[in-house]
Amino acid sequence: MLEGKNVVLAVTGSIAAYKIANLASMLKKQKCKVTVMMTKNATNFINPITFETLTGNKCLVDTFDRNFQYSVEHVSLAKETDVVLVAPASANVIAKLAHGIADDMLTTTILACECKKIVAPAMNTHMYHNPIVQDNLKLLEKYGMEVIKPDYGYLACGDIGDGKMPSEETLLSYIEREIGREKDLAGKKVLITAGPTREALDPVRFISNHSTGKMGYALARAAMLRGASVTLVSGPVSLAKPLFVNTIDVVSAQEMYEAVIERAKEQDIFIMAAAVADYTPKEQAAEKMKKRDGELSMELCRTRDILQTVGDNHREGQFLCGFSMETENLIENSRAKLLKKHADMIAANSLRTEGAGFGTDTNIVTLITADTCEELPLLSKEETAHAILDKILVKYKK
């Protein structure tokens, strides 16, 4: 995702500096160029050699270091950088950046950069809440920098509060969102459904299915990376909520129906990846049903069809993609669904195909529209998500 990109990690004097070694390694695994700059105080927490070993590039500390290729280093670095992450960002460096003070390699380079700058404060909770620090953070945002809110937790000083730098995975997500993908969905509102629904029999038991939500969550993250404003309506899953996505948790098919229909008018693209229950108990027992001799029968009634409702009512300029999980006659059944539901595209897969189905990290889907039928190869669900979005963009623009 980040191959060929240039990332500058600006490390300041905080105990959280040790986390950036792992972040630098994570970035290198994505084949991007990583340059680390450090304040002199930061070198008291972690040795520059660590970063040079991990990145393969010289770690820059001294503005007047003569041991590099001749150029005005802070200017040449600033020109080629795609994003700067200041992490951990001390109160001292935050103040310098807010007021244009450039007295070392790190602050000088950042002031020369025209790319996006992201700042992750890390400090004692009382220092973080000092009104001077808060005013400086607001100044950074005023000048176009993005400030990552620190986590709440146990701090190195022994206090408990907010001021803890977020995890390396979170920091990486901010970088990926900024430069990971072309923003070809910028300005679009995308609603995605994911996961199963649960239809309660009593306070203990429910009817559901094997959906894990992985495909829908991959679609939500992919659309976010491409610049869309994403709403994810999710049934009960064990997945972490994707960052930068508005996630709405629901349980039953009726709750999912209401969440989708309430937001339908404002959307540009719908991707219905959830495995919604087709039937729900006509009556739900108020108390746990006890075992008894003989058979148990229960009357079920149809749930409200979300895809059909959106298909019947979506306006010109909205695009509707449904999903179809089949065990036989994949193309025929999916094309019939496309027509019946008035969808623009169906992403179809077969439970019988190895590498597809519930709970896997891969998928094999066939994308069906009114005039095309394209079978995708075995891909990761992330790759499948981007392939689906590619197809939607092609059809959406026509």
Binding residues for CTP: 278, 288, 323, 337, 341
Where do the H-state alpha helices sit in the chain?
A: 19-29, 48-55, 73-80, 91-98, 105-112, 125-128, 131-142, 168-179, 214-225, 253-263, 306-313, 330-340, 381-396
Rounded to an integer, what distance in angstroms lies between the CA atom of residue 221 and that of residue 228? 10
CA dihedral 107, 87, 246, 318 (to 10 degrees): 50
Q: Which long-range contacts (CB under 8 A, 24 or more apart) does 240-248 make?
A: 242/217, 243/170, 243/173, 243/177, 244/173, 244/177, 245/220, 245/221, 247/220
Q: CA–CA separation, 312 vs 307, rounded Å?
A: 8
Do the beta carbons of residue 304 and residue 226 sit within 8 Å?
no
Integer Cα distance of 92 and 107 in angstroms: 11
Length of the chain (residues): 398
Angle at the Cα of 255 from the Cα atoms of 328 and 361, rounded to 5 degrees: 45
Amino acid in position 176: E
Angstrom distances, CA of residue 209 to CA of 80, 121, 188, 236 = 50, 43, 31, 11
Catalytic residue among 32, 59, 113, 157: 157
Rounded to 10°, the helix 381-396/214-225 angle is 60
Told to judge if 157 belongs to the known catalytic residues of this protein, a careful annotator would answer yes
Cα 64 vs. chain centroid, distance in angstroms? 40
Spatial CB neighbours of 183, under 8 Å, sequence gap ≥ 6:
226, 227
Point out the residues that are catalytic. 157
